[in-house]
Chain A
Amino acid sequence: MPAGSVLLVIGPSGSGKSTLARAFVGLVPHEMAGTWSGSLRVGEMDVATTPMQRVAARAGIVFQEPESQLVMPRVEDEVAFGLENRGWTRDAMLARVPEALEIVGLGGFRRRSTAALSGGEQQRLAIADVLAPLPGLLVLDEPTANLDPPGMEQVFERIASIAATRERTLVVVEHRLDAALPLADLVLLLDGTGRQIAFGAPDEVGRAHAAELDRLGSWVPRAWSAWAGRPGDAGDRVASAVAATAGERARPSPRPDRAGEPVLEAAAVTVRYPFAPGGIGRPAVEDVSFSLCPGERAALVGPNGSGKSTLLFALAGLRRPASGTVRVAGAGGRVDPSRLPGRQLARTLGLVFQNPELGFVASTCAGEVAAGLPTSGRSAGPGDSSVAEALRDFGLAPLADENPFRLSEGEQRRLSIAAASVTRPAVLLLDEPTFGLDRRGADAVVTLLDGLRAAGQAQIMATHDPRLVPACDRVIALDAGRLVFDGTPRAFLDAPPYRPAGPWRP
């Protein structure tokens, strides 16, 4: 790579994109065990033989999770941290810290608390951190994966302006390729085993390899879709849903089973936390009402901190609303989920978190699926037929005896959905079900959810990914805890109820 250019690394899950990103900054091989061969030079420096701190002085990396890369409680101290480590003088730091914050658009934020920033601001701060010591090479490993659409756009604006100066060499690893591809001078394609498929100018690589990339299950940028034989980077399922919603304006309601009685009903739900960051008593969710019918799938969207997770907790009966009611259709009519005993609740509601590991309770996948089954009468152990069936349906049969913590991200996601749905709940609540997955992984999850929906299950999925919106029957949008939109995906994507609206369109 010539100095000052921008490289975009593309590949399916498991293609070693993150490992490569870490190698560029010396974390591999210096901090992570493994075997190493070949040579990697950054400038005149051989990364494998140069001590870590000398590599760190020349190359910086931004990771995907804001909360596990910020160290200090205050913004300016956070930027200064990397400079202190590198032995800068105080005068040089006092001059450089405001400069670095200015570059990422956080000029007025010096004394703010890092924990009180939005996700987009935190990631821009992380970029300022690694920019401050003036590195020659800046590596960004999925810097926008955790962000809402406007946060993602802000981060890409800043990356574009840094790239435009040509003062730093940039390596970008991203799943959101449509935003990243226009910045790239060079593209590196990797296959599912970590081998290089191609390296070169974006158009040449796209023309020759887009179809192969698609076959491997990776996301493919929209600009390459003609070469890939695909309508867009969203892949088959989601893209065909876009086509379907485009033709559906004539139809009054896209909802499949509107005639059925609602299975879930929220009436004027308001939730307060005792220790609300915005001051005691400010509601996290305020006056939210909607109902959901069997077989209906709703996308729950909104900026970071708009109350999506809190609403999911309230719908699941895990947090009792300060006012308003949540009702689910249970065995004895409509009931408050927070009052249901566990076994009945499990048949009524299922919950899948963004981090599947938080729900794992067993040491094997089979045990994980079996854990939620009723144990009355004949024991429902890992050998039970319904367990084997669920594992097979979710493509996890070969992993029945594997430890859940050792699965890939996609496998963990499928396992957590299998475990949550083995009790056949009438409503499934999901938090970012396609987070971090490649196109194949996301398709697999959506296909599984389609099967459950066809059997009459209602689903609510909180998501930041506009690509997932067309795969839903309905969109429920929150802003600062209030419901600001409830309607069809088409209507939502035509006129997102947020300003700026642009980033919310897929």
Chain B
Amino acid sequence: MSFLPAPLEPVRPALLTRVAPVTRLVVGIAWLVVVVLPAGPGVPLALTVAGAAALGLLSGLPLARVPARLAPLGLAALGLGVLTVLVNPANGDPAAPSVLLAGPIRIAGDAIAAGITIALRLAVIALVSVLVFATSDPTGLADSLVQQWHAPYRFAYGTLAALRIVPLLAADWAASGGVQRLRGIEPGGVGGRIRSFGRRLLVLLVTAIRRAERMALAMDARGFDADLPRGVYRPVRLGRLDLLVLVAGIGVAVAAFAIGR
């Protein structure tokens, strides 16, 4: 039984899938730094357009499935944008030019600009997360982090092992709730619900720890964490293409800042 959606993965070869995950990560961080610098809506607008173009042309992701994946963050961006417009100190500032006057409600032009900026910033963050992470399979990301950045391999590959357990925990959670319902243990009131939730959480924790222990034993028995130097089955090499993407990606961020500021 499956309780989690299939991951969003590239379905065709594309420029972004051919560069090392760390390259995408560095460019992504550069974009995030630029987008949070204090500036008007021009900077995040430029990056949103550039990000959407990269997503469409360079990512190889199945575009039909992207909107569904981005919908929660899109809604959050919209909500936060509207909230920023409505609850904004500029609305109460008589010096700021107003664009809307409806009875007691007064919306200033500055408030609208601030709302658009916030919403677009969130849109850029969402786009960057998809461009960096959905184009890397977890194995490739771990390999790249270990080989290029010398991340501790125990952490990187241990995380991969832990990721395998997540869908199993989702099934365990459904099972524990099912058993409680069939035993007539129906929580009454808020306190009861919290206690029931706590009990299921405890059961989930116990089973998760047991699974993790078994996984750790299996990994130890296969020589994980040995003092020997580790072999490399999937070398990740940085090439000219990485340099190109790095320069172009950071160039876009700098240009967006220069133009949009």
Real binding pair: yes
Q: Are A71 and B157 in contact (CB under 8 A)?
A: yes
Contact of B178 among A133, A276, A316 (CB under 8 A): A316
Interface centre among B4, B5, B184, B223 (most CB of A within 10 A): B184
Q: Are B221 and A419 in contact (CB under 8 A)?
A: no
Q: Are A93 and B231 in contact (CB under 8 A)?
A: yes
In the assembled complex, the Cα of A216 lies from the Cα of B193 at a distance in Å of 45
Q: B148 an interface residue at 8 Å Cβ cutoff?
A: no
CB-nearest residue of chain B relative to A115? B164
Q: Are B223 and A82 in contact (CB under 8 A)?
A: yes
Query: For this complex, into which size category does the number of interface residues on chain A fall?
Result: 35 or more
Q: Are B207 and A359 in contact (CB under 8 A)?
A: no
Q: Are A72 and B231 in contact (CB under 8 A)?
A: no
Residues A353 and B164 in contact in the complex (CB < 8 Å), given A68-B215, A71-B157: no
The minimal Cβ–Cβ distance linking A199 to chain B, given in whole angstroms, is 24
Q: Are A68 and B4 in contact (CB under 8 A)?
A: no
Contact of A358 among B138, B164, B207 (CB under 8 A): B207
Q: A293 an interface residue at 8 Å Cβ cutoff?
A: no
Q: B172 an interface residue at 8 Å Cβ cutoff?
A: yes
Q: Are B220 and A52 in contact (CB under 8 A)?
A: yes
Q: Which residues of A contact B180 (CB under 8 A)?
A: 359, 361
Q: A90 an interface residue at 8 Å Cβ cutoff?
A: yes
Q: B92 an interface residue at 8 Å Cβ cutoff?
A: no
Q: Which residues of A contact B181 (CB under 8 A)?
A: 318, 342, 345
Q: Which residues of A contact B230 (CB under 8 A)?
A: 84-85, 87
Q: Are B2 and A276 in contact (CB under 8 A)?
A: yes
In the assembled complex, the Cα of A73 lies from the Cα of B161 at a distance in Å of 8
Q: A423 an interface residue at 8 Å Cβ cutoff?
A: yes
Q: Are B2 and A87 in contact (CB under 8 A)?
A: no
Q: A15 an interface residue at 8 Å Cβ cutoff?
A: no
In the assembled complex, the Cα of A82 lies from the Cα of B165 at a distance in Å of 19
Q: Are B219 and A351 in contact (CB under 8 A)?
A: no
Q: Which residues of B contact A97 (CB under 8 A)?
A: 233
Chain A window 334-348, contacts with chain B (Cβ cutoff 8 Å), 1 for yes, 0 for no: 000000011101110
Q: Are A74 and B139 in contact (CB under 8 A)?
A: yes
Contact of A90 among B3, B137, B184, B235 (CB under 8 A): B235
Contact of B182 among A22, A87, A316 (CB under 8 A): A316
Q: Which residues of A contact B214 (CB under 8 A)?
A: 63, 65, 68-69
Q: A310 an interface residue at 8 Å Cβ cutoff?
A: yes
CB-nearest residue of chain B relative to A67? B168
Q: A290 an interface residue at 8 Å Cβ cutoff?
A: no
Q: B99 an interface residue at 8 Å Cβ cutoff?
A: no
Interface locus among A54-62, A164-172, A179-187: A54-62
Q: Which residues of A contact B224 (CB under 8 A)?
A: 81, 85
Q: Are A358 and B175 in contact (CB under 8 A)?
A: yes
Q: Which residues of B contact A65 (CB under 8 A)?
A: 214
Q: Are B160 and A343 in contact (CB under 8 A)?
A: no
Q: A447 an interface residue at 8 Å Cβ cutoff?
A: no
Query: For this complex, into which size category does the number of interface residues on chain B fall?
Result: 35 or more
Q: Is the interface of B mostly helix, strand, loop or mixed?
A: helix
Q: Which residues of B contact A83 (CB under 8 A)?
A: 231, 233
Q: A200 an interface residue at 8 Å Cβ cutoff?
A: no
Contact of B220 among A27, A276, A347 (CB under 8 A): A27
Contact of B185 among A52, A71, A72, A372 (CB under 8 A): A372
Chain A window 274-293, contacts with chain B (Cβ cutoff 8 Å), 1 for yes, 0 for no: 11110000001000000000
Q: Which residues of A contact B174 (CB under 8 A)?
A: 318
Interface residues of A in 75-112 (CB under 8 A from B): 76-77, 80-90, 93-94, 97
Q: A371 an interface residue at 8 Å Cβ cutoff?
A: yes
Chain A window 128-148, contacts with chain B (Cβ cutoff 8 Å), 1 for yes, 0 for no: 011001000000000000000
Q: Are A374 and B139 in contact (CB under 8 A)?
A: no
Q: A248 an interface residue at 8 Å Cβ cutoff?
A: no
Interface residues of A in 351-368 (CB under 8 A from B): 351, 353, 355, 357-361
Interface centre among B6, B182, B220 (most CB of A within 10 A): B182
Residues A69 and B215 in contact in the complex (CB < 8 Å), given A87-B229, A93-B233: yes
Q: Which residues of A contact B139 (CB under 8 A)?
A: 72-74, 77
Q: Which residues of B contact A61 (CB under 8 A)?
A: 218, 221
Q: Are A275 and B5 in contact (CB under 8 A)?
A: yes
The minimal Cβ–Cβ distance linking B75 to chain A, given in whole angstroms, is 19
CB-nearest residue of chain A relative to B182? A351
Q: Are A275 and B4 in contact (CB under 8 A)?
A: yes
The minimal Cβ–Cβ distance linking B175 to chain A, given in whole angstroms, is 5
Interface residues of B in 191-227 (CB under 8 A from A): 199, 203, 206-207, 210-211, 214-215, 217-227
Residues A361 and B185 in contact in the complex (CB < 8 Å), given A53-B227, A77-B234, A88-B231: yes
Please give 13 more A-B residue pairs, beta carbons under 8 A apart, in addition to A358-B176, A359-B203, A423-B184: A27-B221, A56-B220, A56-B226, A68-B218, A85-B226, A87-B229, A90-B231, A93-B231, A341-B186, A345-B182, A359-B176, A359-B180, A372-B183
* 7 contacting pairs across A/B (C-beta < 8 A): A57-B223, A130-B222, A342-B185, A351-B179, A358-B172, A359-B183, A420-B182
